[in-house]
Structure 1
Amino acid sequence: MFKKLLLATIAIFVAWEILDFVIHGVILQSTYASQPELWRSQEDMKMGLMVFVVLVSALCFAYLYGAFVGNKSLATAVKFSLIFGIGTGIGMGYGTYSVQPIPYHMALVWFLGSVVECLVAGVLVGLIIKE
């Protein structure tokens, strides 16, 4: 199980890093630039910490699936990841939108991006961690 967990964690981490670049570095780039007062400058961003956060999140996602989901199949993994993605995405997008003056477009993309990232992670754990 350890090897599968490690492989799933690495696969999810790589996928999430790529998707984060597309979401934040491409799709939302101009939206971030239009609200510089809300963000650290490029020089002040803690990108090493962000990489660590994504790695730990990938490990937790893979572990939750591997340790607590009984019927391990691709279909179950996709269902698990959809629920996980909605749960995290609603907080990321709309939870932030409710207390911070971000544009609605950003909240929506954060929400949808979280759901997509989790669905991708679900496919990966479903293919890697099987019974």
Structure 2
Amino acid sequence: MSRRTLAAAAAVFVLWAMLDFVIHGMILRGVYERTERLWRPEGEMRMGLMYLVLAVAALCFTLVYERFVGRRNVRVAVLYGLLYGVGTGVSMGFGTYSVMPIPQVLAVGWFAGAVVEATAGGLVLGLVIRE
């Protein structure tokens, strides 16, 4: 794995961590507070595990692009991110909504957040990993 690929994965990780803070810690905070019975108390949340999961996801997102996308440029990378975001967002938001009693606004928020994060991650990949 090249330094450029590792740098891209690290940049995506940092971007996604920051966007997670904005999306979940600020924008959706009120929804989480109104549904607190569904979540662990803040003191019991396993944030180390959450960051490990985020790092693995960022690395896989980067490696799929780097290894399997033939034409690598900003446009293709953004489209890759958008498609990835729609796929993961539908699964995370509406898949969870179908089996858990979360409010519809949370499902929509998770979907939109995944689309924004992955599209922004695609932009990072396009800027860092080029042909």
TM-score of the pair, normalised by structure 2: 0.98
Matches within 5 A, 1:1-131: 2-131=2-131
Regions of 4+ moved over 3 Å: none
- Deviation string 1:57-80 (CA, Å, 9 cap, x unpaired) is 000000000000000011110111
Matched residues, percent identical? 49
Report the RMSD for the aligned CA atoms in angstroms. 0.7
Q: Matched residues in 1 for 2:43 and 2:73: separation?
A: 43
Give the number of equivalent residue pairs.
Answer: 131
Deviation at 1:50, TM superposition (A): 0.1
- 5+ long unaligned stretches in structure 1: none
* 2:121 partner amino acid: A
Q: Matched residues in 1 for 2:24 and 2:112: separation?
A: 12
Q: Matched residues in 2 for 1:45 and 1:37: separation?
A: 14
* 2:86 partner amino acid: I
Q: Matched residues in 2 for 1:3 and 1:62: separation?
A: 12
- 5+ long unaligned stretches in structure 2: none
TM-score of the pair, normalised by structure 1: 0.98
Q: Matched residues in 1 for 2:129 and 2:23: separation?
A: 27
Q: Matched residues in 1 for 2:83 and 2:35: separation?
A: 31
